């Protein structure tokens, strides 16, 4: 008897929930996105969802990415530098310390929200409010504000898990767990509600008192006369007496005439006697010799002491500043006067024992206004450049080498740019005749030449007798092996 096949039994397992997905435009140029950044963006999209922020830890991201924690942290820093995300630090003073959240700035899904860099305060407020809600089911955390101070993020909440409601479903793409395995235990349908415990009547229990802290019986207050120190014992009051104010004889005011009487003449105060030590006495002028020696260094002082008295007197009578200014032009003198006093003293210090003409000439040249150097225009063609290359500016040699490489056009010629530059530099110095190089260039550029670079080298070696080693020796200032 053949067994009748039975119909497949329907699965009692609840239908799988649709996993959140990320919409990526088909015209997205992923070639401009680093592979590690693209992979981390896909992971962060699952955490962001329809928000512009999330707060997964580095350990969670490293586990999803399949890398170490340090590598995940490095990828996040790179993405922040590229402008994909903004890492909000918990402490502004420690930008690479604990992180408060990750804000999206550029996303794979253009329809999802993003934030500026840095995010505005209202976006930071939403981040903290959502974190507090996910941890405390909407109840604000005690002692931790949901809104951080303006401009300063609040300290991160310790122990906050990653999003566990609608975003963690996207991380369970294989559906290896029950559909609600990633939901909070309070939201599971099959989890029974806990039964309330029976109420226990409150009992009055006398408060236990520690024997050392037991209150003592009150002692009636007694009036005790205030003790008076024998040294501070009050003396009998003495009637106040009017004492005339003492007036210094030097500052005694002049008599003031009465308002209704004739004015009284005021006698002038006598001038202080010579040699009086009262305030306002004029100090005698310092010794000019001592003042001059104080401005010298040890070496200059020893040299000054070796001079004969007549030369010392001549140095003391010379105004170094005036002598220095006489050696300058009006433009140089104006530049010297515009310098700070400290800089002027520094320039004049070496001339304290007499003007050093060599040093004065060098200092005067530095004080002269700089004239702009007008360089001659670079010739337009390579042949004109070769003809005018002897004695030309150094930049012309580089331009000539570039002209050779472009004119010859071969890959090998581009690699020989350094050799072309040596030839042009030696022409500029006058060590190679410009006519020989110009002749070789014209032979290389003649019609029908298939390899202009090879033709130029053959013609150059035949005209000058130099090879690559000789060019290297000439550039280094050595004698070439083959003397042309």
Residue extents of the structural domains in the chain = 30-171, 289-367, 382-475
* Average pLDDT value for the chain: 74
pLDDT given for residue 454 in this prediction: 92
Is 101's pLDDT higher than 90? yes
Average pLDDT over residues 463-477: 90
Q: Give the class (CATH, top level) of 30-171.
A: mainly alpha
Average pLDDT over residues 152-178: 40
Element (H, E) at 124: helix 121-136
Element (H, E) at 63: helix 58-65
What are the b/e assignments for 397-432, b being 16+ CB within 10 Å? bebbbbbbbebbeeeebeebeebbbbbbbbbbeeeb
pLDDT tens, 104-149?
998 988 888 999 988 999 999 899 888 888 876 444 444 344 444 4
pLDDT given for residue 207 in this prediction: 53
Q: Looking at per-residue confidence, does 274 or 321 come out higher?
A: 321
- Residue 205 backbone zone (phi > 0: left; psi -120 to 50: alpha; other: beta): beta
SS3 33: coil
**In the beta sheet, which residues pair with residue 103?**
53, 86
54 CB contacts (<8 Å, ≥6 apart)? 44, 47, 48, 101, 102, 162, 163, 167
pLDDT given for residue 286 in this prediction: 61
* Residues 122, 72: Cα–Cα separation, whole Å: 28
Query: What single DSSP character describes residue 50?
Result: T
pLDDT given for residue 284 in this prediction: 52
Average pLDDT over residues 396-412: 90
Q: Which of 32, 56, 37, 36 is nearest to 46 (CA)?
A: 56
Q: Looking at per-residue confidence, does 206 or 146 come out higher?
A: 206
Distances (CA, A) of 455 to 234, 237, 406, 439, 441: 123, 126, 15, 11, 9
pLDDT given for residue 104 in this prediction: 93
Lowest mean pLDDT among 93-102, 217-226, 243-252, 448-457: 243-252
Average pLDDT over residues 246-257: 49
**75: its two tokens:** 């990828």
* Residues 445, 456: Cα–Cα separation, whole Å: 8
* Cβ atoms of residues 364 and 334 within 8 Å: no
- Residue 175 backbone zone (phi > 0: left; psi -120 to 50: alpha; other: beta): left
Q: Which of 62, 56, 85, 68 is nearest to 168 (CA)?
A: 56
Q: Is the pTM of this model over 0.75?
A: no
Residue with tokens 């170490």: 68
* Residues 456, 446: Cα–Cα separation, whole Å: 11
pLDDT given for residue 354 in this prediction: 84
Average pLDDT over residues 186-211: 50
Q: Looking at per-residue confidence, does 417 or 292 come out higher?
A: 417
What are the b/e assignments for 72-93, b being 16+ CB within 10 Å? bbebbeebbeeebbbbbbbeee
Q: Looking at per-residue confidence, does 94 or 333 come out higher?
A: 333
Is 185's pLDDT higher than 80? no
Average pLDDT over residues 248-266: 48
pLDDT given for residue 242 in this prediction: 58
Percentage of the residues of the chain whose pLDDT score is greater than 90: 28
Banded pLDDT at 170 (limits 50, 70, 90): very low
Is 59's pLDDT higher than 90? yes
How big is the CA angle at 218 (ends 215 and 222), to the nearest 5 degrees?
145
Q: Looking at per-residue confidence, does 178 or 291 come out higher?
A: 291
Percentage of the residues of the chain whose pLDDT score is greater than 70: 63
Q: Which of 198, 197, 179 is nearest to 189 (CA)?
A: 179
Cis peptide before 279 (omega within 30 of 0): no
37 CB contacts (<8 Å, ≥6 apart)? 75, 78, 79, 82, 84
Is 219's pLDDT higher than 70? no
Residue with tokens 């415990």: 197
pLDDT given for residue 98 in this prediction: 86
pLDDT given for residue 278 in this prediction: 47
pLDDT given for residue 51 in this prediction: 92
How many CB atoms within 10 Å of residue 351? 19
SS3 85: strand
* Residues 78, 34: Cα–Cα separation, whole Å: 10
**280: its two tokens:** 């306002």
pLDDT given for residue 208 in this prediction: 52
Q: Looking at per-residue confidence, does 448 or 205 come out higher?
A: 448
pLDDT tens, 321-378?
888 888 889 988 889 999 999 988 888 888 888 888 888 888 888 888 776 666 678 8
């Amino acid at each position: 008897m053949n067994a009748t096949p039975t119909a497949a039994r329907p699965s009692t397992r609840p239908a799988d929930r649709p996993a959140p997905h990320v919409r990526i435009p088909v015209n997205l140029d992923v070639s401009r996105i680093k592979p590690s950044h693209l992979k981390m963006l896909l992971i962060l999209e699952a955490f962001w969802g329809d928000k512009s922020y999330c707060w997964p830890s580095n350990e969670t991201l490293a586990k999803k990415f399949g890398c170490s924690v340090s590598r995940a942290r490095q990828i996040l820093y790179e993405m922040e530098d590229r402008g994909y995300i903004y890492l909000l630090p918990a402490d502004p003073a420690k930008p690479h310390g604990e992180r408060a959240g990750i804000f999206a700035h550029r996303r794979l899904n253009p329809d999802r929200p993003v934030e500026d860099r840095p995010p505005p305060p209202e976006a930071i407020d939403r981040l903290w409010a959502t974190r507090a809600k996910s941890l405390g089911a909407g109840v604000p955390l005690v002692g931790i504000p949901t809104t951080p101070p303006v401009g300063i993020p609040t300290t991160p909440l310790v122990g906050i898990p990653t999003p566990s409601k609608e975003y963690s479903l996207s991380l369970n793409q294989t559906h290896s767990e029950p559909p609600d395995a990633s939901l909070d235990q309070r939201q599971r349908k099959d989890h029974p509600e806990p039964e309330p415990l029976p109420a226990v009547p409150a009992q009055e229990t006398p408060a236990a008192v520690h024997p050392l802290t037991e209150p003592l019986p009150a002692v009636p207050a007694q009036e005790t006369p205030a003790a008076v120190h024998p040294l501070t014992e009050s003396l009998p009051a003495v009637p106040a007496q009017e004492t005339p104010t003492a007036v210094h004889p030097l500052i005694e005011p002049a008599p003031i005439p009465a308002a209704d009487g004739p004015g009284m003449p005021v006698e002038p105060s006598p001038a202080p006697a010579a040699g009086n030590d009262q305030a306002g006495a004029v100090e005698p002028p310092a010794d000019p010799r001592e003042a001059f020696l104080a401005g010298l260094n040890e070496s200059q002082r020893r040299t000054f002491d070796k001079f004969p008295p007549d030369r010392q007197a001549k140095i003391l009578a010379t105004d170094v500043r005036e002598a220095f200014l006489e050696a300058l032009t009006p433009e140089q003198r104006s530049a010297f006067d515009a310098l700070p006093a400290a800089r002027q003293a520094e320039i004049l210090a070496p001339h304290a024992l007499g003007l050093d003409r060599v040093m004065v000439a060098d200092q005067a040249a530095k004080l002269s206004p700089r004239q702009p150097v007008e360089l001659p225009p670079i010739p337009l063609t390579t042949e004109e450049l070769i003809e005018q290359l002897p004695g030309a500016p150094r930049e012309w040699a580089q331009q000539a080498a570039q002209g050779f490489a472009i004119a010859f056009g071969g890959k090998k010629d581009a690699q020989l740019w350094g050799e072309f530059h040596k030839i042009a530099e030696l022409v500029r110095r006058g060590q190679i005749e410009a006519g020989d190089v110009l002749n070789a260039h014209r032979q290389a550029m003649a019609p029908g030449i298939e390899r202009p670079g090879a033709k130029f080298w053959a013609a150059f070696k035949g005209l000058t007798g130099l090879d690559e080693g000789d060019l290297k020796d000439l550039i280094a200032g050595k004698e070439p092996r083959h003397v042309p």
